[in-house]
Amino acid sequence: LPGYRGYGPVRVGNAAVGQRQNDVYGSMVLTAAQMFWDERLPRQGDVELYRQLCAVGHEAHRAALTPDAGLWEYREREEVHTFSAAMCWAAQHRLGLIARRVGLDSESREWLGKAGVLRQEILKRGTTQEGWLSGVLDRDMADASSLVLPEIGLLRSDDPRFHATLDMVAKRLMRNGFLMRYVEADDFGTPSNAFLLCTFWYIDALASVGRREEALELFNNLLSRRNHVGLLSEDLDPQTGELWGNFPQTYSQVGLILSAMRLSRSWEEGLWHAS
């Protein structure tokens, strides 16, 4: 069955069902962690929920430095992806904070100790000789997912390694104001379309290091690519500006919302001062 403009065949189902993606452990713990701090929620996190999450944390500890398909779901190869390892770190780190929150100090120290060792290993093996963060451990690979490592908490946005990563990503992955996920050939050949969520990640990263005007320019350019009802797709052709891929795409829209929040003026800027 041909797809859009005769491209195809149309794919049915999702081949990712059989893949190993180690970042899932971090996603599970990060999702539940809010329950231990946000008092607005009807159900608060407790020791019972913490115990359930510990099973996820143990899997994260086991899988952290093992090869997987990665965030981008490579089909024909597995490597130790920096983002996956960082999410496994996040699972253990947050469990350490949760354990402290529920009064289990010895378990907190144990989780935080494991997380600390893993963090050192990730940064040691994931930092290139040029000082930027690679998308995989033990070799150089430009990957847009490196932009979210400060959001996870693995390092701060003022860390020189992140500044080097931001510059590297712009140099290697930017195409006419839109960011590629990566440029290495994958299972479908050499990528040609930019991934819209990654461009929002880049915008957020610029804002986090104080380059707000650059971020606003890219953000407004992205807004101009929405369709007549304000929706975005998964991908975009950086040469023509044409929307491609799954449409509409939730995480493109979520990226837009989060970047808009990041770039909006805060109440602390004195909007209501007489002068």
Same structural domain, 242 and 190: yes
Predicted confidence at residue 37, as pLDDT, reads 95
Predicted confidence at residue 186, as pLDDT, reads 77
Predicted confidence at residue 272, as pLDDT, reads 61
Predicted confidence at residue 185, as pLDDT, reads 75
pLDDT digits (tens, 9 = 90+) for 33-74: 999 999 999 999 999 999 999 999 999 999 999 999 999 888
The verdict on residue 153 lying in a domain is: no
pLDDT digits (tens, 9 = 90+) for 228-256: 999 999 999 998 988 888 888 999 999 99
Predicted confidence at residue 155, as pLDDT, reads 96
Q: 127: which strand partners? A: 133
| More confident site: 221 or 268 | 221
Same structural domain, 168 and 258: yes
The verdict on residue 27 lying in a domain is: yes
DSSP state of 10: P
**At residue 123, does pLDDT exceed 90?**
yes
**Count of domains forming the chain:** 2
**At residue 274, does pLDDT exceed 60?**
no
Same structural domain, 25 and 89: yes
CA distance 239 to 185: 19
CA distance 139 to 217: 33
Predicted confidence at residue 8, as pLDDT, reads 66
Kindly list the distances between the CA atom of residue 221 and the CA atoms of 112, 149, 179, 238, in Å, as whole numbers in the listed order.
42, 25, 12, 12
Same structural domain, 170 and 78: no
The verdict on residue 193 lying in a domain is: yes
Same structural domain, 242 and 173: yes
Q: What pTM was computed for the model?
A: 0.90
Phi, psi angles (nearest 5°) of residue 142: -75, 125
Predicted confidence at residue 16, as pLDDT, reads 72
Strongest mean pLDDT among 209-223, 230-244, 260-274: 209-223
The verdict on residue 226 lying in a domain is: yes
Domain containing residue 227: 159-264
| Residue type, position 204, single letter | D
Same structural domain, 202 and 253: yes
Same structural domain, 106 and 202: no
DSSP state of 8: -
The verdict on residue 8 lying in a domain is: no
| Residue type, position 190, single letter | T
Same structural domain, 122 and 221: no
Same structural domain, 165 and 108: no
The verdict on residue 272 lying in a domain is: no
Q: What angle do CA 94, 100, 103 make, to 5 degrees?
A: 145
**At residue 270, does pLDDT exceed 80?**
no
